[in-house]
Amino acid sequence: MTTATAPITHISPGSALRHGFTLAGRAVTKVRKNPESLLDVTLQPIIFLLLFVYLFGGAIQGSTDAYLQVLLPGLMVQNIAFASLGTGMALNADITKGVFDRFRSMPIARSAPLIGAVLGDIVRFVVTLTVLLVVAVIMGFRVQTDPGRFLIAIALLIAFGLCLCWVSVFVGMLVKSPQAVPGTLVAFIFPLTFGSNVFVPSDSLPGWLQVWVDINPVTHLANAARGLLLGGDWVADAGWAFLWAIGIAAVFFPLALRAYRRRVG
Amino acid sequence: MSYAIEAEGLVKRFGDTVALDGVNLAVPPGKVLGVLGPNGAGKTTAVRVLATLLRADEGWARVAGYDVATQATAVRGIIGLTGQYASVDEDLSGTENLVLIGKLLGLSKADAKARAAELLAKFELTDAASRSVKTYSGGMRRRADLAASLVGRPQVLYLDEPTTGLDPHSRNEVWATVRGLVDDGVTVLLTTQYLEEADQLADLITVIDHGKVIAAGTPYELKRRTGGQSLQVRPTVAADTPAIATILRELTGIEPLVNTDAGLLSTPVDNPLLLSSVVRRLDEAGITADEIGLRLPSLDDVFLTLTGRTTPTTPVTEGSLA
């Protein structure tokens, strides 16, 4: 037998990261070839923006212009949460379609497909935020602060999405088909995003609901984003949102990893 | 002798189902092992264990001396896998798939592109290289799968039912490719439901049924094991069939099998000298035959004898007669 090269016995974390980036590149290529796969992170935010601003804006805030200012930072949070569902769907599709077995039969890190999927999700986050901002600016939204604080807001939102996506990875490893991921997570994502002050001020809500809305990470992150984009305090809310994100990741990252190992052997 | 693939006592259970029930395998380097068995026999499970995708509950397996359980990464560096499960990404083009695999295997972008172009040319996919795999025909897709498993120049290649669902032309292409790889020194483990395929390609055959190896050996040995030879006569004119049947019965003392679909009479014989008697009697009776001869049993016969049932899916079996 011709054994020309020494066997690969160990994969360094650096190689694992490199494999992860290569697989994230695959996700980007797929998006580029199949742009309609982004409809959920492009069309949906536009619909939400138009619907809420023009339909409810006057009733909630007195004027559509004023409502747009308050709503947009919150909508950014909501759409990051929705976009994070994609990770679990993409991973589930890879596993059920058999592409995963190819990767797993190759000398690459076990975690590489996972890293690739999560990194690839950043693309979806950036796309959904860009779409929202562009349409909102056309509708009259203006960032009131400076580029530095704007970038902090974007970074916070993406970091939140990257923590939240482990919930979707976890569910994606448990369900049979990719479509079951959003179906299952509706019960999680709706209370999280609508049970917040994204759409209406929390003091308009019944007391029991206020309790939840005031501790909801989406409320904190929306407040932080408002502060960073419109001016005002943001540090405390950003801190709370950050703690929440870390907490969610601390619970769901190990769960997702365990479910992943169990699913793919 | 060291084996390229060696397994002993592999057991794999899924709940109450025993998919593998103590499977032993051994393939010398550069040989083709055909793993034969009906659907659900455990063939794919065996391949998944040998390809490090599944961990066996009991037993061990080594590929080029590396243990599949404890030295999985080393094994993955040596093997290529093509089959029902390991596939290519249908949203990507042929080139994109192969370049991706090349990059994951540590090739530079330029090298990965060169290797992809080389393999696509070898598999006659150059014209379709930039199209999404989902637009490929079944045969093209299978060739793309095969190309994907060869990017890393594997020493050991697993082909899990590589020709299931392919038309005869595509099947012949896959066979030619496998022969070429074997000429290059690659060890191949091939699972198939098609006896003809095993007969065409395999140096060694292992028959699996209900997770157990029920027979192993060279195709010749297996055919010998099922018993003696058979004498076959194909009449030129179908109307002569009863007359030929009478002659065969008189000479052998048993009723010959008549397959009217294939236009073939056959009867087991102990004494090969009987052939000349049959020729003489037919000559005397003025009956002509298109074909007359002694045959080893086909793998179909082998399978029937071993499992007590015919293979569930057998393509045209005429070519499989040895």
Domains of chain B plus CATH, in order, are: 5-223 (3.40.50.300), 229-295 (3.30.70.100)
Residues facing B215 on adjacent strands: B207
Q: Quick one: pLDDT at residue A161?
A: 94
Residues facing B208 on adjacent strands: B213
Residues facing B17 on adjacent strands: B14
Question: Nearest-CA distance from B97 to chain A in Å?
Answer: 9
In 3D space, the residue among B186, B157, B190 whose CA is nearest the CA of residue B79 turns out to be B157
**A95-122 per-position pLDDT tens digit:** 888 888 889 899 998 888 888 888 888 9
Q: Do B74 and A103 touch (CB under 8 A)?
A: no
Q: Which of residues 21-50 of A touch B (CB under 8 A)?
A: 22-23, 25-26, 29-30, 33-34
Q: Quick one: pLDDT at residue B179?
A: 92
pLDDT by residue, tens only, chain B of 322 residues: 589 999 999 999 998 899 999 999 999 999 999 999 888 889 999 999 999 999 999 999 999 999 999 999 999 999 999 877 668 998 999 999 999 999 999 999 999 999 999 999 988 899 999 999 999 988 888 889 999 999 999 999 999 988 887 888 888 888 988 999 999 999 999 998 888 888 889 999 999 989 999 889 998 888 777 666 788 899 988 888 889 989 988 888 878 888 777 788 888 777 778 888 889 999 998 888 888 888 877 777 777 777 766 554 443 333 333 3
Q: Do A33 and B132 touch (CB under 8 A)?
A: yes
Q: Which of residues 209-268 of B touch A (CB under 8 A)?
A: none
Q: Which residues of A touch B105 (CB under 8 A)?
A: 106-107
Q: Quick one: pLDDT at residue B1?
A: 54
Q: Do B73 and A22 touch (CB under 8 A)?
A: no
- Asked if B132 has any chain A CB less than 8 Å from its own CB, the reply is yes
Q: Which residues of A touch B66 (CB under 8 A)?
A: 7
Instruction: State the residue for tokens 């016969």.
Output: B301
- Positions of chain A with pLDDT lower than 50, given as ranges: 1-4
For residue A12, what is the nearest residue in chain B, using CA coordinates? Answer: B73
For residue A23, what is the nearest residue in chain B, using CA coordinates? Answer: B100
**A186-223 per-position pLDDT tens digit:** 888 888 889 898 988 888 888 899 999 999 999 999 99
Count of positions (residues) in chain B:
322
- Asked if B28 has any chain A CB less than 8 Å from its own CB, the reply is no
Partner residue facing B155 (CB), from A2, A98, A105? A2
Terminal-to-terminal C-alpha distance of chain B: 30
Partner residue facing A1 (CB), from B64, B91, B149? B64
Count of positions (residues) in chain A:
265
Q: How far apart (Å, rounded) are the C-alpha atoms in residues A241 and A81?
A: 13
Q: Is B7 left (phi over 0), alpha (psi -120 to 50) or beta?
A: beta
The Cα-based distances of B16 to A176, B13, B19, B20 in angstroms read: 21, 7, 9, 12
Q: Which residues of B touch A7 (CB under 8 A)?
A: 66, 71, 73-74, 77-78
Q: Do B85 and A98 touch (CB under 8 A)?
A: yes
On the CB side of B207, CA atoms within 13 Å amount to 23
The radius of gyration computed from the CA coordinates of chain B, to the nearest angstrom, equals 23
Tokens coding A87: 């990770």
Q: Quick one: pLDDT at residue A5?
A: 54
Q: Which of A15, A101, A102, A262 to mutate to test the interface with B (most CBs of B within 10 A)?
A: A102
Question: Nearest-CA distance from A12 to chain B in Å?
Answer: 12
Beta strands in B101-210 (DSSP E): 156-160, 187-192, 204-209
